[in-house]
Structure 1
Amino acid sequence: MPFTAKSGKFNASIKTVTVGTGDKAITLGGENVLPFYTFDAPIENAPKVGIEITDFGMENELECVKKYYEGCTTLADIAKRAASFEGVDFLCFRMEGGDPNGANKSTEELMAALKEVAEAVDCPLVVAGSKNAERDAELLSKAAEAVQGKNAIILAAREENYKTVGAAAGLAYNQIVGAESSVDINLAKQLNVLLTQLGVNASSIAMNVGTAAAGYGYEYVASTMQRVKAAALSQNDTQLQMPIITPVASEVWGVKEAVTTEADMPEWGDQERRGVDMEVQTAAADLACGSNAVILKHPTSIATISKMIKELV
């Protein structure tokens, strides 16, 4: 008896969110099948890959990253070089120096840096905060104004600051609000509900449901993303149908397997290869679990993940 496969296409679909403007604008979401299930239905908007730079430029980067930016002397130079690497769909500028427990740079200094980057490139932008919710309420609100007209993702509004960030990004300056929750489907849904109740259009929300480097409690990330996608598609849960964007770089390039030098741990082998392997493995897992966009750092990781996406979609 012949085998007739059952279609895995769902009646529900992930909402589409357009980032950027003009010819280089990208669209996230829109699929009505599980990740990479192109045998069930076409995936019109393939997952996207971004590259992350920070306000520190190359100051805090490892040598295996710095070498790709040789000759760059300004943030504008770094942004242009980053945007030129193979496979880059968008640029993420992280205001790392805004952390009050770190460099605690002034808002004025960070906005000047952001404007320098935004003026240097024409690709879609993601603006990420300092990971300090209280400081980010101010920084991201100002950032939404600074890149007005860019249709950027402001990453991210959290439960502690969603009113301030959501109102500025999603209402006052017509940007896309990144909704960040901590690896919990209920928290992800609750934040989306709060943002839409605030008045932010659902088509202007992208979710960061949390991530971790592969091997660092990653099973919680995988199960959360899979549950979010399952609820969005099979249960038609409209409050979980926003596309997912996942910042991988800031997680991976802080774990010991990625940053420990070969001199300190010779038995671990080449440090650059370890870091790239960790970044590729984490990004590939995020995409397989349902992320619609990943943010990476190393050019080799970006080229590898971009090639993987093209071969699977």
Structure 2
Amino acid sequence: MAFTAKSGKFSASINSVEVGCGDKKIVLGGENILPFYTFDAPVENAPKVGVEITDSGLENEPECVKKYYEGCETVADMAKRAASFEGVDFLSFRMDGGDPNGANKSTEELIAMLKEIVAAVDLPLVVCGCKHAEKDAELLSKAAEAVDGRNALILAAKEENYKQVGAAAGLAYKQVVGAESAVDINLAKQLNVLLTQLGVDGKSIVMNVGSAAAGYGFEYAVSTMDRVKAAALAQGDATLQMPIITPVASEAWGVKEAMASEADMPEWGNQEERGIDMEVETAAAVLASGSDAVILKHPVSIKTISTMIKELM
């Protein structure tokens, strides 16, 4: 008996969200199938890969990453170099130094850096805060103003500061709003509802539903993504039909397997290879679970994941 394939596409779909403008703009989402199930239906917008730089420049980067930025003196120089890496679709600028419990850099200093980056590159921008909700309320509101006209993704509004960030990014300056929740489908849904009730267009929201490096409670992150995609597509839940973006770099390069030197752990082998492996396996897994974009650090990781996506689409 001849085999008759049955399409697994859904009647519902993930929202298509544009980030950036002009020829370099990208579109996240739009799919009505499970991740990489292109045998069920074509996918118009492949997952995207971003490169992360931070306000610390090269200060806190591993040596294996620093070599790719040789000669760069400013964060803007790094942005230009990062934009040239093979496979990069967008640039992510993380303002870690704003954390009051860390370097506690002023909002003015960080926004000045952001403006230099805006002037230096024309790639779509993702602007990330310092993970301190109160400081991010101010920092990301000012960032939304600094990238006016660039249709940037401001990552991210949380339950503690969604009113300030959502009002500035989504309403005043018409940027894309990132909604960050803590690895729980109900929290993700609740934050999307709160943002839309505030007046933010649901089709201008991208979710970060939580992230972790592979092996570090990672099953919670990917199972949450699986549940979000199932609810969005199989159940047609409009409050969860936003694309997902996952910041992988800060998680993957922050664990001992990537950070431990070869002098300290000679039995683990080459540190650069370990870091790349951790970043690639984490990114591949979150993409397979439904992420529409990943943020990476190492140029080899970026090239590898970009190639994987092209081969699977």
TM-score, with normalisation over the residues of structure 2? 0.99
Runs of 4 or more, structure 1, over 2 Å off, are none
1:230-309 alignment, distance < 5 Å: 230-309=230-309
Residue in 1 that maps onto 2:92:
92
1:143 aligns with 2:143: yes
Write the distance in 2 (CA, Å) between the matches of 1:184 and 1:190: 10
Q: 2:26 aligns to what? A: 26
**Residue 38 of structure 1 corresponds to which residue in structure 2?**
38
Question: How far 1:65 moved relative to its partner?
Answer: 0.3
* Cα shift at 1:2: 2.0
Counterpart CA distance in 2 for 1:266 and 1:185 is 41
What is the aligned length? 313
Percent identical among aligned pairs is 79
Matching residue's letter, 1:269? G
Corresponding residue SS for 1:50: strand
Residue 198 in structure 1 maps to residue 182 in structure 2 = no
Alpha-carbon distance in 1 for matches of 2:167, 2:253: 32
Deviations 1:114-145 (A, max 9, x none): 10111100000000000111110000000000
1:83 paired to 2:83: yes
Structure 1 distance, partners of 2:135, 2:215, is 30
1:75 Cα deviation (Å)? 1.3
Cα offset, 1:150, TM superposition:
0.5
Measure, in 2, the Cα distance between the counterparts of 1:157 and 1:145.
15
Secondary structure of the structure 2 residue equivalent to 1:127: strand
Alpha-carbon separation, structure 1, partners of 2:88 and 2:106: 30
Give, in angstroms, the shift of residue 74 of structure 1.
1.3
5+ residue gaps, structure 2: none
Match of 2:17 in 1: 17
Shift of 1:76: 1.3
AA of the residue aligned to 1:99? D
Alignment partners' CA distance in 2, 1:56 and 1:114: 12
Name the aligned partner's letter for residue 227 of structure 1. R
Shift of 1:3: 2.2
Shift of 1:100: 0.4
Deviation digits for residues 237-257 of structure 1 (CA, Å, limit 9, x no counterpart): 000000000000011111000
SS at 1:81 equivalent: helix
Q: Distance in 2 between matches of 1:119 and 1:244?
A: 27
1:160 aligns with 2:160: yes
For residue 115 of structure 2, what is the aligned residue in structure 1?
Answer: 115
